[in-house]
Amino acid sequence: MAVAMREKTYRLYLDYLETAETKRRWNIFNDIPWDEFDLAKTTPATAASVEIFCAEEMYLPDYSINGLALVRDSFGPAWFQAAWAFEESRHGLVFREYLTRSGLRTEAEFAILEAEIVAKVWKLPFATTRQMACYGALQEGATFVAYRAQREQARAAGDTVREAIFHLVGRDEAAHGGFYRSMVELELAEDRAGTVDDLAFVLANFKMPGDGLIADYHARLQATGAGISPRVFMQRVVLPLLTTLGTTRDELRLAQMRLRPAA
């Protein structure tokens, strides 16, 4: 990485960390109103939704190992990965605590779920730091949108515990998306055409981390109402990202045509 880019990504991480440390830290012990839990405000579908999200968050060791290995020689992105991993570790944990403290799932059921999770390995979906920044911007954005819907649903149901959880976890995802978005902006300033090509490539091959790892991922998300549709993904994740980055669907389409191998 060029010296100027190293300095910019380090500054970006330091800004990220300052906000995280001063405004966004939370913990599962004091910031969730656990004693307000009311089983009557849950349904089998809400429990099943939290379980899928929990499973997806529990691939954290794979996300961390692969993510850090990719950026280990870039100080800012590497330290971001370390901070990111800590923040993400709270997500799977708080979902697990919600399910077990409430009695919605037993420890024995969780033991089975954990065994299913570690039986599969998440692999890096894209090969370069720049492509993974594009992926992170999209993936964190999609996760934020899905969790915001969960928060709204919990609020409507009067489940204050689930509402608090999805508020805090969703706020983390929004911050993660913001960091990756800023990384893509820096990359665009360095090499616009190459970065647009990468974004187009990542978008054309995008799938969520749990897709392919968690059994019946799409069917279960659909059945529980926890998934986001392709239309919502486009309107609430992709288009706002393109606007922030100062690019358009047309520019991406041109890049995708360029990338397509000649017939």
User: Is 148 or 176 the residue whose CB approaches Fe ion more closely?
Assistant: 176
Distances from the Cα of 225 to the Cα of 44, 76, 142, 172, 212, angstroms: 12, 37, 15, 22, 19
How far apart (Å, rounded) are the C-alpha atoms in residues 68 and 82?
8
CA gap 96, 90 in Å, rounded: 10
Q: For the CB of residue 95, give the shortest distance to Fe ion in the complex, in Å.
A: 9
CB of 1 to Fe ion, least distance (A): 23
Residues 51 and 96: their CA atoms lie apart, in Å, by 8
173 or 185: whose CB is closer to Fe ion? Answer: 173
Q: Minimal distance in Å, beta carbon 88 to Fe ion?
A: 5
Rounded Cα gap, residues 261 and 76, in angstroms: 35
**What is the nearest approach in angstroms of Fe ion to the Cβ of residue 51?**
15
- Closest distance of CB 28 from Fe ion, Å: 13
Which residues form the interface with Fe ion (CB under 5 A)? 88, 91, 140, 173, 176
Sign of CA dihedral 174, 178, 184, 188: positive
- Report the SS3 class of residue 45: helix
Residue 211: CB minimum distance to Fe ion, A: 15
Q: How many residues does the chain have?
A: 263
CB of 57 to Fe ion, least distance (A): 5
Burial class (CB in 10 A: 0-12, 13-18, 19+), 154: buried
220 Cβ neighbours under 8 A, 6+ residues apart: 48, 52, 214, 226
* Residue among 1 and 85 whose Cβ is closer to Fe ion: 85
Whichever of 151 and 176 has its CB closer to Fe ion, that residue is 176
Nearer to Fe ion by Cβ, of 105 and 176: the residue is 176
Ramachandran category for residue 146: left, alpha or beta (phi over 0 → left; psi -120 to 50 → alpha): alpha
Quote the least distance from Cβ 91 to Fe ion, whole Å. Answer: 4
Q: Which is nearer to Fe ion, 94 or 255 (CB)?
A: 94
Cβ atoms of 217 and 211 closer than 8 Å: yes
Geometric angle at alpha carbon 25, from 152 and 45, rounded to 5°: 30
Nearer to Fe ion among residue 88 and residue 159 (C-beta): 88
Closest CA to 51 of 226, 233, 232: 226
Select 165 or 252, whichever has its Cβ closest to Fe ion: 165
